[in-house]
C-alpha cells in the first residue's frame, strides 16, 4: 500500500477556495501523477494540507511545519499539488528543504493531469485579483464557468 500525502498552494486552496477536487479525482482514477503507482497497489491518502503561505525569499523552511503534519504519519510519498508546481516561485527551494529535513520522504512534483499552463496561471490571477472578492472560486475555473472582466 502506498501511503500518500498532498500539499497544496494556499493561494489556490485558501484564497481561491479550491477543495482539491481534481487532485482527489485523479488520485481515485490514477491519472496524472498518480499513474506512477502500480495498478494493484492500493493508494491510501493519509493527509492533505495547504502550504503555510508565501514565505518571502527568507523563510522557505516555513513549509516544514506543514509537511511534518503529514510526514509524521508514515507517509511514503508527498505530492506537491499541480497548482503549487504551476504558480509557486518557491517550489524548487521547497523541494530542497523538504528533502534535507525528511530524507526518507519521496517528493512527487505534481498531482492531477496538468492542463495548459498559461491558461491556468491566467485563471489563478483572475481569481486572486478579482475586485468583487469571493464571487468566483476555483470551482468555477474547474467547471469552466469562470467569467473574465471582458465578458
**Are the C-beta atoms of residues 80 and 109 closer than 8 Å to each other?**
yes
Quote the cell numbers at residue 34: 498518480
CA distance 101 to 113: 28
Q: Of the two residues 38 and 111, which places its CB atom closer to ligand SF4 in the complex? A: 111
Lateral strand order in the sheet of 2-8: 43-50, 2-8, 77-80, 106-108
Of 17 and 40, which CB lies nearer to ligand SF4 in the complex structure?
A: 17
Q: How far is the CB of 99 from ligand SF4 (least distance, A)?
A: 17
Residue 40 vs 65, nearer CB to ligand SF4: 65
Query: Residues 126, 135, 15, CA angle at the centre, nearest 5°?
Result: 60
Q: Shortest distance, CB of residue 40 to ligand SF4, whole angstroms?
A: 26
Kindly tell me which of 84 and 97 has the beta carbon lying closer to ligand SF4: 84
Residues that bind ligand SF4 (CB under 6 A): 8-13, 18, 20-23, 51, 53-55, 81-84, 87-88, 90, 111-112, 138
Closest approach of Cβ 114 to ligand SF4, in Å?
A: 9
Cβ–Cβ < 8 Å for 121, 87: yes
Amino acid at each position: 500500500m502506498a501511503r500518500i500525502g498532498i500539499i497544496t498552494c494556499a493561494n489556490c486552496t485558501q484564497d481561491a477556495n479550491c477543495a482539491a477536487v481534481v487532485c482527489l479525482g485523479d488520485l481515485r482514477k490514477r491519472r496524472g501523477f498518480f499513474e506512477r503507482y502500480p495498478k494493484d497497489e492500493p493508494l491510501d491518502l493519509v493527509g492533505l494540507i495547504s502550504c503555510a503561505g508565501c514565505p518571502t525569499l527568507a523563510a522557505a523552511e516555513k513549509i516544514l511545519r506543514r509537511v511534518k503534519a503529514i510526514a509524521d504519519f508514515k507517509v511514503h510519498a508527498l505530492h506537491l499539488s499541480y497548482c503549487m508546481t504551476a504558480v509557486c516561485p518557491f517550489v524548487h527551494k521547497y523541494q530542497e528543504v523538504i528533502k534535507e529535513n525528511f530524507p526518507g520522504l519521496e517528493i512527487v512534483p505534481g498531482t492531477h493531469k496538468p492542463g495548459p499552463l498559461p491558461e491556468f496561471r491566467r485563471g489563478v490571477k483572475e481569481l486572486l485579483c478579482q475586485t468583487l472578492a469571493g464571487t468566483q472560486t476555483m470551482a468555477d475555473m474547474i467547471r469552466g464557468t469562470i467569467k473574465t472582466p471582458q465578458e
